[in-house]
Structure 1
Amino acid sequence: MPEDTTQLARLRTRMLATAYSNADFWTQRTAFLTDQAVAALARRDPAAGEDLAASLLAPAILHDTQILGAAVEAGIDTSTWEERREKTRTYAREAYELPPQFDPVTEAKRIWASLYDHYPQIAATLIDFLQGLPPTWREDLFTSSPHSPAATRRTVLELPGPETAPYDPLDWEDCPACAEAQDQCRYHRGTFTGMEHQRALITTALTDHTAIDQLQQRHAELEATTARTTAADTSTSTSP
């Protein structure tokens, strides 16, 4: 991009490229809506749009006073925000704070505390299950030949991280399980995958003439089946 490009053009290029390329649903959506909001402002007030774009591109750290001040000015109740932030930080595992080789004891305590807090019945059942294992369970599970199929599977497969915090199907931004995993939880990742699959089907249906013909044919077959069923039900109800 040329050095004389305006801040607005730089920001819009970055936002739209992020919306197009990023795999995260909320990152895509936030980037696109930010682009649209700044573009709308620039149409009404080009100078204000340029200033806002420059501030968005500036790597300045936001402080609590700035955020809370804007919330107070907007008349927003912030009394529960501190508790919400502390709760999120409790379950969030910041990637930059974790050493490359995290301490298994610390991680085990964290997982157990979260499991006990959210799913005490599962925690109790887990204790019963472990107590019922044979005395050699540790050697049976964690000691194997490096050439065995089990050892190969354990090193090749990338297992999903534990999610003991409950997911919230109605809230993508404040889901405890997403916060704990520092990513989309399995529920929301599956929902997003389903949305992507549905979008791909819709795109195919709108652009592929063969698919359109097949859909129309199938729709006609379903309508004919429904009509025959309705006619049969009507005939049965009116017969003596």
Structure 2
Amino acid sequence: MTDSTPQLTRLRTRMLSTAYTNADIWTRDSAYLTDQAVAALARRDPGAAETLAKSLLAPEFLNDTRILGAAVEAGIDTTGWEERREKIRAYAREAYELSPKTDPADEAGRIWASLYDHYPQIAAALADFLRAMPDTWREDLFTTSPHSPGATPQTRELPGPETAPYDPLDWEDCPACAEAQDSCRYHRGIYEGMEYQRDLITTALTDHTAMDQLQHRHAELDAQRARQATSAATSTPPPDPTTPAATA
């Protein structure tokens, strides 16, 4: 881009590139829908769209008064916004201030309380399971031996055992994400799946060798389906001459 490139073009380039390259599905959707809204404004009022783009690329300090004023002007109910903001900020503070070495007793108490609150039947079954363990449970589980879980090397850091139920539709207020103070196992799996899909699509679009192999494989599958169709057509048994349809 040059110095003469309109601010609107700069803004749309940034938003569309974000929608194309970002791995987070909500960021992609927000960037694309914002671009479409700005494009609609440009078709209706090019001057206002250019002014908006300029202000977005050189933003002023955004305070609560401006946000709440715009919400009131749009007729939006903001009564629950402050509580939700404090909740999200509390999660962020806890994640930032969390000690890397958590006390085992405290963590055990937290996990048990969360399990009891959300899944009491599982908590009861776990209590029965632990009560039925032999008196040698500590030696059986934690003695240093090739078969001891404590001696098994961890190849990678595993996510924490969330006991709160996850919310598949909400990445901000998911109880399991809040408990893990990170993405829960469900949302982390979705994120890794999107990463894999993005890498696969990027490879297919940019790697000519992979594209040739993909096209070759499609051609093989088409040929295989054609052979199966031909074989099915030729293997159809002839009609029985004794049937009424054959003698008619």
TM-score tier, shorter chain, comes to 0.5 to 0.7
Residues 1-240 of structure 1: pairs in structure 2 closer than 5 A? 24-27=24-27, 30=30, 32-33=31-32, 36=35, 40=39, 44=47, 45-55=49-59, 58=61, 63=64, 67-78=67-78, 94-144=94-144, 150-154=149-153, 156-203=155-202, 208-222=211-225, 225=228, 240=243
Equivalent pair of 1:38/1:53 in contact (CA under 8 Å) = no
| Structure 1 counterpart of 2:246 | none
Amino acid at match of 1:76: I
- Gaps of at least 5 residues in structure 1 are 1-5
Distance of aligned partners of 1:144 and 1:8 in 2 relative to their CA distance in 1, 3 Å threshold = farther
Pick which of 123-132 and 45-54 moved more: 45-54
Amino acid at match of 2:94: E
What is the alpha-carbon distance in structure 2 between the residues aligned to residue 130 and residue 88 of structure 1?
A: 36
Equivalent pair of 2:164/2:175 in contact (CA under 8 Å) = yes
| Structure 2 counterpart of 1:3 | none
Equivalent pair of 1:111/1:164 in contact (CA under 8 Å) = yes
Percent identity, please: 57
Displacement of 1:153: 2.8
Amino acid at match of 1:140: D
Pick which of 227-236 and 102-111 moved more: 227-236
Amino acid at match of 2:215: I
Q: Mark the structure with the bigger radius of gyration.
A: 2
Amino acid at match of 1:182: Q
* Alignment RMSD: 4.7
> What TM-score, normalized by structure 1, do the two folds share?
0.64
Pick which of 155-164 and 197-206 moved more: 197-206
Displacement of 1:114: 1.6
What is the alpha-carbon distance in structure 2 between the residues aligned to residue 139 and residue 19 of structure 1?
A: 54
Amino acid at match of 2:192: T
Equivalent pair of 1:92/1:181 in contact (CA under 8 Å) = no
What is the alpha-carbon distance in structure 2 between the residues aligned to residue 233 and residue 86 of structure 1?
A: 71
- Gaps of at least 5 residues in structure 2 are 1-5, 244-248
Distance of aligned partners of 1:73 and 1:176 in 2 relative to their CA distance in 1, 3 Å threshold = farther
Equivalent pair of 1:167/1:175 in contact (CA under 8 Å) = yes
Question: Could you give the per-residue CA deviations for residues 158-178 of structure 1, whole angstroms, max 9, x where no partner exists?
Answer: 222111111233444443223
Distance of aligned partners of 1:19 and 1:103 in 2 relative to their CA distance in 1, 3 Å threshold = farther
Question: SS of 1:55's equivalent?
Answer: coil
What is the alpha-carbon distance in structure 2 between the residues aligned to residue 210 and residue 163 of structure 1?
A: 42
Equivalent pair of 1:8/1:54 in contact (CA under 8 Å) = no
What is the alpha-carbon distance in structure 1 between the residues aligned to residue 237 and residue 198 of structure 2?
A: 39
> What TM-score, normalized by structure 2, do the two folds share?
0.63
Equivalent pair of 1:7/1:54 in contact (CA under 8 Å) = no
